[in-house]
Amino acid sequence: MEQLLQHLVNGLVLGGTYALLGIGLTLIFGLMNVVNFAHGEFYTLGAYAAFAALGWAGVDFFTAVLAAIAAGAALGWLCEVTLLRPLRSESIDTTMLVMIGVWIAMQNGELLVWGGVAKSIPHPFPTAPLVLGPVAIAPLRLFVLLIAAGLIAASWLLIQKTKLGRAMRATFQDRDTAALMGVGIGRIHAATFAFGSALAAAAGALLGPVFLAYPSMGDLASLKAFSVVILGGLGNLPGATLGGLLLGVAEELGAGYISSGYRDAVGFVIIILVLLFRPAGLFARQERIA
Amino acid sequence: MVKRSIVLVALVLAALVVVTLPAQSQAPIKIGVIEPLSGPVAASGSYIRMGAEIARDWINAKGGISGRKVDLLIEDNKSDPKEAASAAEKLIVRDKVPAIMGAWGSSMTLAAMPKLEEYGVPMVVETSSAASITKRGNPWIFRISPPSEMEALGLEQYVDKLGIKRVDFLAVNTDWGRGSITAFGDMLKKKGAAVGVAEFMDQAATDMNAQITKIKATGGDTLFLTTAVEQITLVMKQAQEQRLGRKIVTTGGSSSPTQLIKQAGAAAEGSYHIVFFMPWFPEAMPDGRLAKAFVDEWAKRGHPFEGLTEGFRGHDGIATIAEAIRVAGKDEPAAIRDALWKVSLMGVNGPIKFAKDGPAGKESGQSKPSIFIVQIRDGKVALPDFLAKK
C-alpha cells in the first residue's frame, strides 16, 4: 500500500512533466496542423538557455527560467517566419519534413556548442525530500508540478478567454474567413508557434535541473509529447493535461507492477488502444481541425 | 622502332615503381575507431576518442610504426547499434582500415561484429562487458576490457568486507546491463547473498522513480547499478529523493566517480565503484610511470579529469593495435589478427595479452585486465577502508 501511494505520487509528478511537454505541442500540432518534430529541441534549448543564464549571466534560477522562455519564444517566432511562413499553403508532409530538418540541425548545433557531456543545472531547492507519511517527494519536483499546473491553466485561459486566443482559434478553423474578419493571419501563426515553443522551453528549463541537460535530451521529450497529444486529442489542452497524467501514472504502475523492462511499452500499448477505439483522442468531443 | 618504344615504356614504368614505392611505405597507417560521439552516452565515447588521440600522438612522436605515421579514422555510432554496424562497414569498405577499435556499448559491439567476420578485419574491444562478445565464435574479436564475469570475480574477494547480504539490481536494458545482472547475481549467490529484484531502465530514460520505489520495498542492503555515468547520476539523485538508503555499487567501469561528485553531490556519498583505472592515485597502477604520464598528458591537453576513467581505454586500445601492426610488420587485416595473438604490452590499465575464449577453432581473444574498487568518501575518491594503507 505504501508502495502504491509512492508509485501514484511518482506517476503524478512524471505525468505533470509529460503534460507540460504535451500542451506546447498540442497547440502547434493541433491548431496549426504542423507536425513539429523539433518540439523536443525547443525543450533542449530551454534547458541550455537556463544553464547559460545561470552560469554566464549569473542571474538567479527564476530569472533563468524566464530567460529560457524568452529564448524559446524568440527562436520559435524566427522559425515560423523564416521556414513555415513561405510554406503555409503546402501540405502537412512538406512542413513535417522541414521540421525534421530543424530537429536535426538544432540537435547537432547543440552538440557543437555544448559538447556531448551532460550538464547539471543548479537550482536553489533543498535536495532532502519532503516526507508526507509513507511518501517522499523532492521539493524541486513539487515546484515543477505547481508551475506546470500554472502554465497549463494560463495557456487554457489565453486560448479560451482572450481576444488573441479567439483570433488563434478562428484562424486555424477557417483562415480565409478569419482574414476577412480582420485577423492578422501572419501574426497569429507566428504568435502560436512562438507560444508553443516557449512552453517547450519552459519545460526544458524546469526539468533540466531535475534531470540533466544533454543534446539528445529532446528525443525522449518529443516522443512523450507526441504520445500525450495523441492520447488527449489534437489541440485539446485539457486533453493533453489529462493525457500526460494518465501516461505518467500508467508507465509508473507498469514499471512497478509488471516489469520495468517494458516501461515504455506500457505507454505505447495504451496509445494503440486509444487509436483503435477513440482515434480522435481519449478526451475529444469533436474534431478540432477544420 | 617498336622495340625502342617498349624499352621506353618499361623505363617509365620502372621510374614510376621507384617513385611510388617509398611514397607508399610513407603513407600513414589507418586505424578505424567506432565510438558513441552523440546520443545518451556521448560523453564516454568522446573521452575514449581523446585517449586514442593521445596514444596516436605518442606513437607518432616516437617516429610512428616502422617510420609510418598512424592516422585515426573516427566514426560516430550515435549510441545506436544500427549505426555501429554501418560505421564498421564504412570504415572497412570505403576507408579500407586494416583494424578497428570499438564500439563502447555491448549492443553496439555485437551489432558491428558480423561485419568484421564478413570482411575479415580485426577489432579491439575497449569497453564492452557482455560475455557473449567473446563467446560467439568470432575470431576477429580481441577484448581488452573485462567481461562482467571477470569483473564479478574481481569483486568476489571484497563481498564480505563490503557487508553485502541482500542485493537488488538496477541496470540499463541492453546486452551489457542484462549480462551484468547475471554475472554479479551468480557470484553473489555463490557467496551466500540473497538476491532481490532485477530492474531495468531504457538507455535514454531519465525518471527511474518507479524502479527505485520497487527496489525500496525489498528491504535489501546493497544496490548494484550498471549503466553509464549520466544515468548513474540520475539514479543517485532520485534514490536520495526517495530516501532509498542503500549501499550502491556501480559496475562496468563507466561511472566516472569524479563526475558523480560534481553532478550528484551528496547523493553520491559513500557509493562504491568498480573501475579499471585509478587516475586519483596513478602510482598504484601496475605501471605507475605510464599511468602518471597519461594523467599528465590528459591535463596538459585541457581534457576534463572526470574523463580519465574512460579515456585510458582509448589509449590502451590504440596501443594494442599499433603493437600488433609492429609485430605483423605490415598493415593487413589477417596479419594484424595473427599478430594480436602474439602481442604482450603494458597499457595504462596493466598488462595486455590475449588468451583464447569461445568455441574451439573460432576463438576470440580476451585479455585479463586489472580491476579496482574505489569509494566516494567526504566528496573525494578514496580507496575503501579495507584497502587503504593503515
Average pLDDT estimate for B161-175: 93
Is B266 at the interface with chain A, CB within 8 A? yes
Provide the shortest C-alpha distance from residue B175 to chain A (in Å): 13
Question: Under 8 Å CB-to-CB from B208, ≥6 apart: which residues?
Answer: B170, B201, B231, B234, B235, B238
**pLDDT tens-digit map of B191-208:** 999 999 999 999 888 899
Average pLDDT estimate for A115-138: 86
Which H or E run contains A136?
A: strand A135-137
Torsion-angle region of residue B368: left (phi > 0), alpha (psi -120 to 50) or beta?
Answer: beta
Contacts of A127 in chain B (CB under 8 A): 237, 240-241, 265-267
Q: Are B373 and B385 in contact, with CB atoms under 8 Å apart?
A: no
Is B46 at the interface with chain A, CB within 8 A? yes
In a domain, A282, yes or no: no
Indicate the domain borders of chain B: 27-146+285-366, 150-275
In a domain, A98, yes or no: yes
pLDDT at B19: 52
Residue A9 has pLDDT above 50, yes or no: yes
**pLDDT tens-digit map of A140-164:** 989 999 999 999 999 999 989 999 9
Nearest to B243 among A3, A108, A136 (CB): A136
pLDDT at A136: 87
Torsion-angle region of residue A154: left (phi > 0), alpha (psi -120 to 50) or beta?
Answer: alpha
In a domain, A33, yes or no: yes
Higher pLDDT, A255 or B57: B57
Full domain range(s) for residue A94:
2-277
Number of A–B residue contacts, CB under 8 Å: 110
Is B93 at the interface with chain A, CB within 8 A? no
Nearest to A216 among B40, B214, B304 (CB): B40
As for the ipTM of the complex, it is 0.84
Provide the shortest C-alpha distance from residue A25 to chain B (in Å): 20
Nearest to B39 among A13, A117, A216 (CB): A216
The confidence band for B23, taking pLDDT boundaries of 50, 70 and 90, is very low
Is A114 at the interface with chain B, CB within 8 A? no
Among A4, A7, A9, A10, which would you mutate to test the B interface (most chain B Cβ atoms within 10 Å of its Cβ)? A10
Inspect the interface and report whether the beta carbons of B37 and A116 lie closer than 8 Å: yes
Three-state DSSP class for B366?
strand
In a domain, A284, yes or no: no
Provide the shortest C-alpha distance from residue A93 to chain B (in Å): 26
Mean pLDDT is lowest, of A203-212, A229-238, B123-132, B349-358, for A229-238
Q: Are A251 and A271 in contact, with CB atoms under 8 Å apart?
A: no
Higher pLDDT, A211 or B26: A211
Residue B253 has pLDDT above 90, yes or no: no
Residue A290 has pLDDT above 50, yes or no: no
Query: Minimal Cα distance from B304: which residue of A?
Result: A117
The 8-class DSSP code of residue A129 comes to: P
Question: Under 8 Å CB-to-CB from B250, ≥6 apart: which residues?
Answer: B224, B225, B226, B232, B271, B272, B273, B274
Nearest to A116 among B46, B211, B233 (CB): B46
In a domain, A287, yes or no: no
Question: Under 8 Å CB-to-CB from B293, ≥6 apart: which residues?
Answer: none
B282's grid cell: 596513478
Contacts of A218 in chain B (CB under 8 A): none
Across chain B, what does the average pLDDT equal? 91
Average pLDDT estimate for B285-294: 95
Is A104 at the interface with chain B, CB within 8 A? no
The confidence band for A117, taking pLDDT boundaries of 50, 70 and 90, is confident
**What is the rounded (10 degree) CA torsion for A187, A193, A195, A199?**
-170
A124's grid cell: 536553489
**pLDDT tens-digit map of A20-38:** 899 999 989 878 888 999 9
pLDDT at A289: 47
End-to-end C-alpha distance for chain A, whole angstroms: 47
Give the DSSP letter string of B141-155: EEE-SPPHHHHHHHH
Number of domains in chain A: 1
Across chain A, what does the average pLDDT equal? 89
pLDDT at B204: 85
Average pLDDT estimate for B83-109: 95
- Taking only residues 171 to 230 of chain A, the set having a beta carbon closer than 8 angstroms to any beta carbon of chain B reads 211-212, 214-217, 219-220
pLDDT at A286: 54
Q: What is the CA radius of gyration of chain B?
A: 23
Inspect the interface and report whether the beta carbons of A263 and B201 lie closer than 8 Å: yes
pLDDT at B6: 65
**pLDDT tens-digit map of A158-209:** 989 999 999 988 888 888 898 898 888 889 999 999 999 999 999 999 999 9
Nearest to A117 among B43, B234, B240 (CB): B43
Contacts of B207 in chain A (CB under 8 A): 10, 14, 17, 211
The 8-class DSSP code of residue A182 comes to: T
pLDDT at A194: 95
Average pLDDT estimate for B206-223: 92
Average pLDDT estimate for B312-332: 96
pLDDT at B112: 96
Going through chain B in order, the beta strands assigned E by DSSP cover 29-35, 70-76, 100-102, 123-125, 141-143, 166-172, 194-201, 222-226, 247-250, 272-275, 344-346, 351-353, 355-357, 364-366, 372-377, 380-382
C-alpha distances in Å from residue A271, one per residue of A26, A35, A223, A233, B309: 16, 18, 12, 11, 42
Q: Decide if B27-146+285-366 and B150-275 have a common fold.
A: yes
Nearest to A10 among B210, B243, B263 (CB): B210
Contacts of B255 in chain A (CB under 8 A): none
Is the bond preceding residue B103 a cis peptide, omega within 30 degrees?
Answer: yes
Among B50, B213, B215, B236, which would you mutate to test the A interface (most chain A Cβ atoms within 10 Å of its Cβ)? B213
Contacts of A3 in chain B (CB under 8 A): 213-214, 216-217
Nearest to B242 among A136, A217, A256 (CB): A136
Residue B2 has pLDDT above 60, yes or no: no
Is A142 at the interface with chain B, CB within 8 A? no
The confidence band for B341, taking pLDDT boundaries of 50, 70 and 90, is very high
In a domain, A161, yes or no: yes
- Taking only residues 173 to 192 of chain B, the set having a beta carbon closer than 8 angstroms to any beta carbon of chain A reads 173
pLDDT at B260: 92
pLDDT at B261: 93
Strand order in the sheet with B222-226: B194-201, B166-172, B222-226, B247-250, B272-275, B372-377, B380-382
Contacts of A120 in chain B (CB under 8 A): 233, 262-263
**pLDDT tens-digit map of B28-80:** 999 999 999 887 788 889 999 999 999 999 999 999 998 999 999 999 998 88
> Phi and psi for A207 in degrees, rounded to 5?
-90, -20
Residue A8 has pLDDT above 60, yes or no: yes
- Taking only residues 69 to 88 of chain B, the set having a beta carbon closer than 8 angstroms to any beta carbon of chain A reads 79
The confidence band for B17, taking pLDDT boundaries of 50, 70 and 90, is low
**pLDDT tens-digit map of B130-159:** 999 999 999 999 999 999 999 999 999 999
The 8-class DSSP code of residue B360 comes to: T
Residue B390 has pLDDT above 50, yes or no: no
CATH number of the domain to which A251 belongs: 1.10.3470
Q: Are B222 and B167 in contact, with CB atoms under 8 Å apart?
A: yes
Residue B336 has pLDDT above 90, yes or no: yes
Average pLDDT estimate for B90-99: 96
Query: Minimal Cα distance from A18: which residue of B?
Result: B207
Which H or E run contains A137?
A: strand A135-137
Provide the shortest C-alpha distance from residue A227 to chain B (in Å): 15
pLDDT at A282: 81
In a domain, A208, yes or no: yes
Average pLDDT estimate for A100-104: 94
Percent of chain B predicted with pLDDT > 70: 93
CATH number of B150-275: 3.40.50.2300
Inspect the interface and report whether the beta carbons of A141 and B241 lie closer than 8 Å: yes
Percent of chain B predicted with pLDDT > 90: 80
CATH of B27-146+285-366, one of 3.40.50.970, 3.90.550.10, 3.40.50.720, 3.40.50.2300: 3.40.50.2300
pLDDT at B13: 59
Q: Are B201 and B172 in contact, with CB atoms under 8 Å apart?
A: yes
Burial grade of A164 (CB within 10 A; 0-12, 13-18, 19 or more): middle
In a domain, A286, yes or no: no
